[in-house]
Copies of this chain bind each other. A is one copy, B any other.
Amino acid sequence: MLVVKKFGGTSVANKERIFNVAKRCVEEYRKGNDVVVVLSAMGKYTDELIDLAQDINPRPPKREMDMLFTIGEQMSVALMAMALNHLDVPAVSLNAFQVSMHTTSAYGNARLKRIDTERIRTELENRKIVVVTGFQGINKFDDYTTLGRGGSDTTAVALAAALRADACEIYTDVDGIYTADPRLVPNARKLKGITYDEMLDLATLGAGVLHNRSVEMAKKYGVPLVVRSSLTNEEGTVVKEDVNVERMLVSGVALDRKADRVAVIGLKDEPGIAFKVFDCLAKKHINVDVILQSIGRDGTKDISFTVDDGDLEDTVAALQESRGRLSFDRIESETKIAKLSIVGAGMISNPGVAAKMFESLYNANININMISTSEIRITVLINEADGERAINAVHDAFGLAE
């Protein structure tokens, strides 16, 4: 059996944790399995590198930032190979050049295109544990690139797909996917299984355990993921296409407090106006969510939507720039709001789910600002102050607690 195991930065933050990870890998190896380990940079090392760069150049070229970033994972993998060696298991560390992890050209936010497996296979055939740098790749110019947020997860999934691994285990500081964030909802329950689509919606909506790009890739190549804790031996949550274990109406509730709401008031009511609004934002690479279009006064239209709070300023600026083309009355923005979502593959065939969610919020006296739905998700916009109360109310209403 070939197992890919991915450990994040906190799991390799110091000597003790490095050996903790090494021992888990040795256990797997001693079962006779082939083990590929994917690592992130140690603890907060990437942040340290950013500080180092900022001190030299407040706007460092992205190409050189990636050249700097990639040393983080190279440090992790070299130390892990040494730790494994100290435990008398042959190991070899490999970086993006040695594996040949081909990506697109975009520094800081590249996408994996192709992974050569020859070197890894040779090392596995020699019964070595192969320790691979996550997060990094090389582009057609033979330059280092990095994969952006959650990049190491993507590396692990891509390696599992390329190597046709039997399992891909993502180790984190939580022990699986929960029905809601346990810090917000004390009686949240760990799920045994969840589908890719549910996971994608949860990742997008701020559950924060897996990055959606890695889940998308897992879905595309049918790589079953296991999310589990690097600190305990508990079983974790399986993410795969068809989870027979439990087909729940609602799998989880997610709260995203980082959303801001923008309203463009008094747009001319003419065909293509929505396209023009979102086209000017797309050109600035601003992601938009929960869109609502309504009739305004005097035959005009209002369009509201949410953006990440980091993008608010750019959003308003982009709209103001296009004012001539768009012709609107004014822009309003609201930062004290939150997105609350329920996700569940079982929802498709159960029309009462939305009503039940709205009812529970009404009973808790929480006002709904905007609503957006997909086949397996319902999202409402509420006041940020109501967030914690709201997620608990909905979690209880669907009986998700243990």
The binding surface of chain A is classed by DSSP as helix
Partner of A56, one of B82, B97, B142: B82
- Flag if B56 contacts A86 (CB, 8 Å): yes
User: Complex formed: what's the CA distance from A98 to B82 in Å?
Assistant: 25
**Shortest beta-carbon contacts, A-B, top 7:** A71-B71, A68-B78, A67-B78, A57-B82, A57-B86, A97-B97, A60-B82
- Flag if A81 contacts B55 (CB, 8 Å): no
Q: Mark A86-112, 1 if CB is under 8 A from B, else 0.
A: 100000110101100000000000000
Knowing A79-B52, A97-B97, A142-B98, the reply to whether A67 touches B57 (Cβ < 8 A) is no
Knowing A67-B93, A74-B71, A75-B71, the reply to whether A18 touches B82 (Cβ < 8 A) is no
Q: Could you say which residues of chain B place their CB within 8 Å of the CB of A77?
A: 67
Q: Which residue of B lies closest to A97 (CB)?
A: B97
- Flag if A63 contacts B86 (CB, 8 Å): no
Can you report 12 residue pairs joining A to B where beta carbons are below 8 Å apart? Answer: A15-B55, A52-B79, A56-B79, A56-B83, A56-B86, A61-B81, A61-B85, A67-B78, A68-B75, A71-B74, A71-B78, A97-B142
Q: A360 contacts the other chain (Cβ, under 8 Å)?
A: no
Q: Which residue of B lies closest to A19 (CB)?
A: B56
Q: Which residue of B lies closest to A22 (CB)?
A: B56
Q: Could you say which residues of chain B place their CB within 8 Å of the CB of A15?
A: 55-56
Knowing A75-B68, A79-B68, A92-B63, the reply to whether A98 touches B57 (Cβ < 8 A) is no
Most chain B C-beta atoms within 10 Å of own C-beta, residue among A52, A56, A71, A81: A56
Q: Could you say which residues of chain B place their CB within 8 Å of the CB of A97?
A: 97, 142
User: Complex formed: what's the CA distance from A64 to B97 in Å?
Assistant: 15
Q: Which residue of B lies closest to A96 (CB)?
A: B97
Q: A70 contacts the other chain (Cβ, under 8 Å)?
A: yes
Partner of A82, one of B53, B75, B79, B85: B53
- Flag if B74 contacts A67 (CB, 8 Å): yes
Q: A143 contacts the other chain (Cβ, under 8 Å)?
A: yes
Q: Could you say which residues of chain B place their CB within 8 Å of the CB of A92?
A: 63-64
- Flag if B71 contacts A85 (CB, 8 Å): no
